[in-house]
Amino acid sequence: MSFLKKISPLLKNTFLSEKDVLSICAAQIEAEIQQGKRKNYNEVLDLSSGDLHRGGTKPISFVRQVLAACFYPELLEDDSLPLDVKQRAECLLRQCDGGSVGSYTDSCGIAKIKQCVTKFITRRDGGVPSSPDNIFITTGSQMALMFMVQLLVQSEGSGVLIPVPTYATFTQALEDQGAAIIPYHLCEEQGWTLQVEELRRALHAGRRTCNPVALYICNPGNPTGHMQSRKSIEEVIRFAAEERLFLLADEVYQSCVYGEDTEFESYKKVLSEMGSTISGTVELASFNSASKGFMGECGLRGGYMELVNLDPAVKEYTRTFFSTRSCPPVGGQIALDLMTDPPKPGDPSFPTFSEEIQSIKNMISKNARRIQEVFSEIQGISCQPLKAGFFVFPRLHLPPRAIKLAKKKQMEPDMLYCLHLLEESGLHVRSGCEYGQKKDSHHFRLFVATHEDTMEDVLQRLKTFHKRFMMEFS
C-alpha cells in the first residue's frame, strides 16, 4: 500500500493530526486521479466534513436571495426577487450604518437580529421568555464557546468536563486556553447515553488534580448522533446544581432531528421547568449556529450564545469582554436572522423554502435508515441507533492482525483502517481516535448529510472494502 509507508513519519510529527494526515493523503490521491494514474475508482468521496454545502446540498434560495440583495442593493429593483425577500433585505439594511453591510455593528450583534433570536428561542421553548440582553452574536458558535471558556478558566488549574468522544477541535481549543480537561465517557452500549454516575466519577477524579468549573454537553451529539432524553437533561442539571458547575450546552444540531419518537428539548427549557431552587440558580450558556442546521451556511460564520442566570455584574463583565473583539461578520448575522425568522405560510417565498427544507430532511432521514440497514449486514461493524445530527460513529471490531500491524506502524488501529479505506476505495472519513474513545475500542466518523446516490455509492464501496480488509487480516 503506497501511502502507508509514508504515514508513520507524518504521525510522529506533532504538528499533524490524524485529520491532517488523512486530508493530505486524500489530496495526493485526487492529484493522481487527475494525472490519469490508474485507480479502481474515479473520484475520492469526502465524508470527513460536517459541511452541508460541501456535501453537495444546494443553499436555501430564500437565504441566498436576501444575502445577495443585502450585499448588492441594486437587486432590490429586480422584479424576479420575491416581495418578502426585498422587504427582509430592506429591513436588514436599515439596521446597518450607512445602509451598508460593510459597516461595523455593535460587538455583540445587530439589535434587531438579537431580538429576532430571542423570539425564536421563546417559540422553540414553548413561551419561556428570552431577552436580547442575554444574547451575544459571534463568529460561529465555537468562538462563543471559547469566549466562555476564557471567562471561566481564570486561574491555572481550572477544569472543564467534556464527553468522550467529542470533536477534536474543541479539545484542542480547551488546551490552548489552559483548561484542564476532565473526560467523561458516554455509554455506547446504551446508545451513547450520558450517565450521571459517570459524570460523578469523572468529577471526583478531576478534583484530584484541578478545580472543575464547568460541564460541557453536546446535544444532539457530535460525532455520535445521540440525543438526550428529558430525564437525562434533568439529571445533568441537578448534578450541575449540586456540584456548582457552569453548564455549557452546545445545541448546534437542534434542528436536525430524525430519530423515531425523538424530539429536541433545550437545556434552557428543561431548566426553566425544574422549580425555582434550581431554575433560578444554575448558570447556563447555550449555543447555536447557522452552520449546522438545514441552512448549512458554514462559511458565513454566524453563531449566538444565550446566557441564563448570570449575576448582573458578571454579565456586564462578559459584555465588556465581548466589546474588546471586532463585531461578528454581518453576513453571518444576516444568516442568523434568516434562520431564526424564516418565511411563514402565506409569504411568497414559503412554498419554495418549505420544499427545500423538507427535501434536505428527507435526504438525511433516508440516509440514516439506509446506513443502519447496511451496517447491520456487515460483520465487524456495529452501530448505535441514529437520532440526530450530521454524523454516524460506528464501531469497528478489527482482527488482531490488523491491530498488531497498526501498533508496528505506531498508529491507532482505526487510523490504519481509514488509511486503507481511503487508498483502496477512495472514501475519506475520520478515524475514531481523533475524538477519543474507550481503551481497545475503534470507530470512524461518517457524514450522513450527502446526496442519496452518493451515500449509496459510499456504502457499496465500504461493504466491498470491509469484507476484503477483514479477510486480509483474519
In what helix (H) or strand (E) does residue 163 lie, and over which residues does it extend?
strand 158-164
Q: Grid coordinates representing 139? A: 463568529
Q: What share of the chain is helix, strand, coil (3-state, %, to 5)?
A: 50, 15, 40
- CA trace torsion 43, 48, 50, 55 (10° rounding): 10
DSSP 331-376: HHHHHHHHHHS---TTSTTHHHHHHHHHHHHHHHHHHHHHHHHHHT
Identify the pLDDT of residue 5: 54
Nearest CA among 361, 362, 343, 363 for reference residue 353: 343
Q: Grid coordinates representing 420? A: 486503507
Identify the pLDDT of residue 337: 98
Identify the pLDDT of residue 16: 67
Nearest CA among 343, 287, 341 for reference residue 115: 341
- What the chain holds in terms of domains, given with CATH numbers, is 4-57+356-473 (3.90.1150.10), 104-340 (3.40.640.10)
Q: Which residues of the chain have pLDDT under 70?
A: 1-16
Per-residue pLDDT tens digits for 110-158: 999 999 999 999 999 999 999 999 999 999 888 889 889 988 987 788 9
Identify the pLDDT of residue 89: 98
The crossing angle, in degrees rounded to 10, of helices 83-94 and 61-71 is 50
DSSP 282-303: --EEEEEESSSSSS--GGG--E
Beta carbons of 305 and 147 less than 8 angstroms apart: yes
Identify the pLDDT of residue 404: 97
Beta bridge partners of 391: 447
Per-residue pLDDT tens digits for 209-267: 999 999 999 999 999 999 999 999 999 999 999 999 999 999 999 999 988 888 999 99
- Cα separation, 211 vs 38, whole angstroms: 56
Q: Grid coordinates representing 191? A: 446508545
In sequence order, which residues have a C-beta less than 8 Å from that of residue 225 and are 6 or more positions away?
A: 192, 368, 384, 386, 387, 388, 389, 391, 392, 393, 448
Q: Is the peptide bond before 73 cis (omega within 30 degrees of 0)?
A: no
φ/ψ (deg, to 5) at 359:
-65, -40
Identify the pLDDT of residue 1: 47
pTM to 2 decimal places: 0.94
- Cα separation, 237 vs 36, whole angstroms: 57
- Cα separation, 269 vs 257, whole angstroms: 17
Q: Grid coordinates representing 209? A: 488534580
Identify the pLDDT of residue 13: 46
* Distance in Å from the first CA to the final CA of the chain: 18
Question: CA–CA distance from 393 to each of 131, 170, 255, 384, 448 (Å)?
Answer: 37, 18, 20, 8, 10
Question: CA–CA distance from 98 to each of 94, 102, 138, 217 (Å)?
Answer: 8, 9, 22, 41
HSE toward the beta carbon, residue 450, CA cutoff 13 A: 22
Q: Is the peptide bond before 220 cis (omega within 30 degrees of 0)?
A: yes
- CA trace torsion 93, 64, 49, 289 (10° rounding): 40
